[in-house]
Amino acid sequence: MSGGLQQKSGPALRLSVLDQSPIPEGSTGAEALRNSLDLARHADALGYHRYWVAEHHGGIMLACASPEVLIGPIAAATSHLRVGSGGVMLPHYSPFKVAENFSMLSGLAPGRIDLGLGRAPGSDRITALALQRDRRYRMPDDFPSQLAELLGYLAGELPADHAFARLTTLPGLPELPEPWLLGSSPQSGIWAAEAGLPYAFADFIQPVGVPIAARYREEFVPSRWLDAPRVIAAVWALCAETDAEAERLASSIKMAGAMLVRGQPIAVPPVDTALRFLSNLGGMSAGLPFSERRLIVGSPRRVKEAIEAVAREYGADEVMIVTITHEHAARRRSYELIANAFALPPPPRS
C-alpha cells in the first residue's frame, strides 16, 4: 500500500455508527427502535460523523426492517450527524420510489442524508419472496440497471428516450441525498468504481475487503457524485473499561450468531445465558460463526489500536462501527468509550 494511503491516528479518522436496532431478550422491537433514537442522540453529542440504520427482514433479533422510516425521526432528533441507510436493499424496490423517499428526507434534513445502497436481500429466500409484489416470478438479477435508473432520477439525467425520463422532478429538490454503494464482495467494489460512488465495505461480514478496496480505487471513474475514490470500512466493535468485561459482554452476540447459523434465531440473550451456552460448547466454540469474522473487543486502548489498524489496511479515513449488546446501557457506553479514546471533537453548539 502506498504511503499516501497510510491512515494517521487521532482526530483525522472519522468514526460513524451502523445501527441494526438489536432486540434484547425480554424486550420488544418497539423498545429497540426507541433505543436507536436514544443511541443516535448520544452519538450526535459524542462527535460521531454519521449514523446509518440497516435493513433486515423477518427476524426476531433485529428491528431494522425499514431504514427510510427510521431515518426521518433520527434526523429530527439530532443536529449534526449525517443520517442514512446502511443500506436500502435495492432489489426489493422500485428505484423511483427509493429516489422519492430519500429526496423527501433530504428536503427535511438538508445536507445530512445518505443513501446507502446494497444488493443483498437482507433476509432469507422466503422472506425475500414475501417482499415481492408479484410472486409469480423470481425477481430478475438486474442490480446495475436498477442502480443506474436510481442515480438517473437523483441526477435529473435520465436519457431522453427513457420510459420515465420526465419523472426526475423529485419532491425534495434542490436537496439531494449522498449516494453510497455498500458491499462485502468484489463485484460491489467494481460497481462502485464504475458508477463513481463512495464505497462502504462490510468488514464485519467478510474481513477480506482490503484487495477489494484497492481494486475499487484503481478502477474508480470520477462522476458528478465524487471526484476521487472514498472508502468506509465497517467493523464490529465492543468496548468496555477492561478487556475482560468487553469479552464478557461480547458473549451475547456470539451465542446469537451461533443460534442463527443453526437456523434457530433468537433475541439477543443476556450475558449469563450466553456464557453458559458458550461454556457448554467446550472446544467447539472455535467453530462459531463469529470466530471467522473480525471482532474488535476490549478496553479503550485495545479497541482504538484495532480500529486504527483496520483503517490503515483499507486506506480509509472513516470507520463505521456496529455494536450489539444485551443491555442498551452497555452499547451506549461502548460508543462513549470509543469516542473518548479517539478524542472525537464535540459538535459545535447550535
Q: What is the pLDDT at residue 160? A: 80
β-pair type (82-85, 113-118): parallel
Please tell me the predicted confidence (pLDDT) of residue 283: 52
Grid coordinates belonging to 276: 453458559
The domain that holds 131 is classified in CATH as: 3.20.20.30
Q: Is 348 inside any structural domain?
A: no
Q: How far apart are alpha carbons 154 and 104 in whole angstroms?
A: 12
What is the distance between the alpha carbons of residues 320 and 235, in angstroms, rounded to a whole number?
6
Looking at residue 92, what is its pLDDT?
Answer: 87
Q: Is residue 208 part of a domain?
A: yes
Ramachandran region of residue 80, left (φ > 0), alpha (ψ -120 to 50) or beta? alpha
- Cβ neighbours, 10 Å, residue 308: 17
Q: How many domains does the chain have?
A: 1
Q: Alpha-carbon distance 13 to 3, whole Å?
A: 16
Task: Give residue 292's pLDDT.
Answer: 58
Range of the domain at 47: 3-341
Cα–Cα distances in Å, from 260 out to 41, 211, 255, 268? Answer: 30, 29, 9, 11
Strand partners, 113: 83
The answer to whether residue 69 sits within a structural domain is yes
DSSP 255-319: HHHHHHHTT---PBPPHHHHHHHHHHHGGGGGGSGGGGS-EEEESHHHHHHHHHHHHHHHT-SEE
Identity of residue 267: A
Q: Is residue 349 situated within a structural domain?
A: no
Model confidence pLDDT, tens digit, residues 113-153: 999 999 876 567 777 777 777 767 777 788 999 999 999 99
Mean pLDDT of 37-60: 95
| Model confidence band, residue 30 (pLDDT cutoffs 50, 70, 90) | very high
**Which residue type occupies 130?**
A
CB 161: neighbour CB atoms within 10 A? Answer: 6
Dump pLDDT digits (tens) for 158-204: 888 887 878 889 999 999 999 999 999 999 999 999 999 999 999 99
- pLDDT by residue (tens digit) across 268-295? 999 999 999 999 886 555 445 555 578 9
Answer whether residue 350 is part of any domain: no
Question: Band of the pLDDT at 349, cuts 50, 70, 90?
Answer: confident
- Position 158 in a domain: yes
Report whether 58 contacts 129 (CB < 8 A). no
C-alpha triplet 147, 153, 137: angle, nearest 5°? 50
Burial grade of 87 (CB within 10 A; 0-12, 13-18, 19 or more): buried
Q: Do 172 and 106 touch, CB atoms closer than 8 A? A: yes
**Does the residue 167 lie in any domain?**
yes
Distance of CA 219 to the CA centre of its chain: 24
Mean pLDDT of 319-329: 98
Which residues are paired to 318 by β-bridges? Answer: 14, 232
| Structural domain includes residue 347 | no
d(CA 93, CA 68): 12
Q: Which residue has the cell 484487495?
A: 211
Q: What is the pLDDT of residue 121?
A: 66
